[in-house]
Structure 1
Amino acid sequence: MMRAFFLSILALFSAVASAQQGEAYMVVEANSGKVLMAANSVVQRPVASLTKIATCVIAVDWADATGTDLSQVTATVPPAALAIGGPNPLNLQVGDSMSVRDALYSAMLGSDNIAAMTVANYVGGEMLRARGKTGDPVAAFVGEMNELGKAIGLLKTRFGNPHGLEVGKQRCTSTAADIAKLSIYAMRKPGVTFISRQKERQVTVNGAGGKRGYKIQNTNELIGEPNILGLKTGTTGAAGPCVSVSVERDPLVREKADGEKAVTPRRLIIVVLNNPDRFNRARGFINPGWAAFDRWVAAGAPIENKAKEILDVPNPR
């Protein structure tokens, strides 16, 4: 009882601290890395289910590296997944199973924490087996999330779990700039883009009573609007309402001296942290973001301080 009291007090202080930090945001053009607008973008804070962007990336990267079809491999819900508590939109029970792809749909579209744990448990276990090791598969998976963070320069990001909830000592902290980097990397992956842009998806769970189906609705209210590709929502008391949005535009086509055409893709990444009106806030950045980008390009794309003006996102995998 006393321990629960202290944990609740700690959670309250964490939420108050996040509220005092106020809103953070960053708007960046993904192909060039040009930062167009930002505020409080390097302040470290909880990021809730935006954590699941990294979860999806690790699963998709693993599938690409191993030649695995995520729709053809089955993940079983482990006891640890139910232990975290919270919403259970698929009514998952220990021992239920589903394809890893369906688990990712539920985690990314429905922000299902149990599904995220199920993905981490399966993929982490496969990674351990491939390396001839034993251990906690979820811990191994989270280790891969943090290794990815190091590889792409997420300097102020630390993942404590695959779902983003504040559970015990597990914390997932980042910044608007780091989430923008992660989002740029994630949206280079066709598998991540395909999942995150779905407005809804039918999934199947195999349980003791047989198969049961669910329709997962995307929690991102912007999905379905013109040119919106994703990406992820997140909300906890400590993080506040958050969203990362990917917005595409027709590519820029130029004719080269040899007559060939050069095609340059154009895509905005908009990250909003701790704003109760996150969707309208993100939507309101789209036109000004493109206008700022167009002015920059028209001026010859000048760069005075690359470290501050450009988000460099390597492609290490």
Structure 2
Amino acid sequence: MKRLLALFLALVLLFSLTLPCLAAAPSVSAKSALLMDAATGQVLYQKNAFVRLPMASTTKIMTAVVAIESMALEKEIEVSPEATGIEGSSIYLYPKERLTMEALLYALLLESANDAATAIAIAVSGDVDTFVQKMNEKATALGLMNTHFDNPHGLDGETHYTTAYDLARLASYALSNEIFQKICSTYKMKIPLNTDEGVRVLVNHNKMLHLYEGAIGVKTGFTKKSGRCLVSAAKRDGLLLVAVTLHAPDDWKDHTAMLDFGFSRYTRVTYAEKGTYTVSLPIVNGKAETLTALNSETLAATLQSTR
């Protein structure tokens, strides 16, 4: 297995040394920014990416992750009166209105509904504080050491913060879940209005979905304290990139520049698909002379591109 790993690393080094740097690093308006390869966690560009800052409604990425991992989508939820009348973005839930977890997740990620975030928190954990504790436990489990949540919706809090780096890692993790990826990449969805009074039409606030080729999400955010926050992701030719900006006056332009930089400068190179590369290893003092080893994972790397 060591021989297999050595060969893989040698190929990565060879390609890294021979492929030229083509695109200049982007200039962004954001106070903090980062571009990451979602598959490997490799940082392709960063600006003040390890500075703690408020993150507004990009908080809801973690809210969705905890909810998806805690409760079935088809579970019907009775909206707690405590979840109604929350300030900021809202779908104006009615007390005791009944909606599925799936419908509330669409409201959370498309319309950035603070009332939906609160309803989800209470449904999953019984109260908001216990749910927020779960959010922080998940952050710790993911190794997000510079992230702390005070609430499930992203309104400003004294100890409500993250970094662009942590947020990119969280988004990369979230996008590995097919349910999350499907919801955050949806542009428009209809959900019930107060059970039988009609429908709500939810429209995704993330303009990158129609501004940028290959965009698949992720989440917008804004408060006066945090400024404009945005997490976006796009996929081309097998390369999935996640871009994050915090406190960015011109976030759409920033993300277009970062993603253009990433796709023009880097490419995903696959050396061996899972289960397709074998190597024969000698056995000392064994019943057999050799052992055939098979790669259990796809061997791939993100390298500078010649395009």
TM-score, normalised via structure 1 length = 0.72
Q: Which amino acid aligns with 2:154?
A: G
| 3-state SS, counterpart of residue 197 of structure 2 | strand
Q: Distance in 2 between matches of 1:116 and 1:80?
A: 11
Question: Residue deviations 1:180-230, cap 9 Å, x none?
Answer: 0100100000010000000111111325xx433111110000113421110
Q: Which residue in 2 is equivalent to 1:79?
A: 81
Q: Distance in 2 between matches of 1:276 and 1:214?
A: 30
Over the residues paired in the alignment, what is the CA RMSD in angstroms?
A: 2.2
Whether the aligned pair in 1 keeps the contact of 2:93 and 2:194 (CA below 8 Å) is no
Question: Residue deviations 1:272-298, cap 9 Å, x none?
Answer: 11112111210111121123324999x
Q: Distance in 1 between matches of 2:125 and 2:183?
A: 20
Alpha-carbon shift at residue 267 of structure 1 (Å): 0.5
Q: Distance in 2 between matches of 1:52 and 1:211?
A: 27
Alpha-carbon shift at residue 86 of structure 1 (Å): 2.5
Residue identity over aligned pairs, in percent, reads 31
Q: 1:271 aligns with which of 244, 249, 269?
A: 244
Is 1:223 paired with 2:223?
no
Q: Distance in 1 between matches of 2:231 and 2:89?
A: 22
Whether the aligned pair in 1 keeps the contact of 2:30 and 2:251 (CA below 8 Å) is no
Q: Which residue in 2 is equivalent to 1:115?
A: 116
Question: Residue deviations 1:226-251, cap 9 Å, x none?
Answer: 21110000000111001101111222
Q: Distance in 1 between matches of 2:50 and 2:164?
A: 6
Whether the aligned pair in 1 keeps the contact of 2:216 and 2:235 (CA below 8 Å) is yes
Whether the aligned pair in 2 keeps the contact of 1:51 and 1:172 (CA below 8 Å) is no
Whether the aligned pair in 1 keeps the contact of 2:34 and 2:45 (CA below 8 Å) is yes
Is 1:92 paired with 2:93?
yes
Whether the aligned pair in 2 keeps the contact of 1:29 and 1:293 (CA below 8 Å) is no
Q: 1:230 to 1:273 in 2, by over 3 A?
A: same
Question: Residue deviations 1:19-66, cap 9 Å, x none?
Answer: xx9611000111122111000101101000000000001111123xxx
Q: 2:168 aligns with which of 176, 180, 202?
A: 180
Q: 1:198 aligns with which of 183, 186, 205?
A: 186
Whether the aligned pair in 1 keeps the contact of 2:237 and 2:268 (CA below 8 Å) is no
Question: Residue deviations 1:120-163, cap 9 Å, x none?
Answer: 111113xxxxxxxxxxx222211111111001111110011100
Larger radius of gyration: 2
Q: Distance in 2 between matches of 1:295 and 1:186?
A: 20
Q: Distance in 2 between matches of 1:295 and 1:246?
A: 16
- The number of equivalent residue pairs is 244
Q: 1:93 to 1:30 in 2, by over 3 A?
A: same
Q: Which residue in 2 is equivalent to 1:237?
A: 224
| 3-state SS, counterpart of residue 174 of structure 1 | coil
| 3-state SS, counterpart of residue 85 of structure 1 | coil
Where structure 2 has 5 or more consecutive residues not aligned to the other structure, the ranges are 1-28, 271-300
Q: Distance in 1 between matches of 2:179 and 2:269?
A: 31
Alpha-carbon shift at residue 76 of structure 1 (Å): 2.3
TM-score, normalised via structure 2 length = 0.74
| 3-state SS, counterpart of residue 108 of structure 2 | helix
Q: Distance in 2 between matches of 1:213 and 1:105?
A: 13
Between 144-153 and 220-229, the greater mean CA deviation after superposition: 220-229
Alpha-carbon shift at residue 85 of structure 1 (Å): 2.0
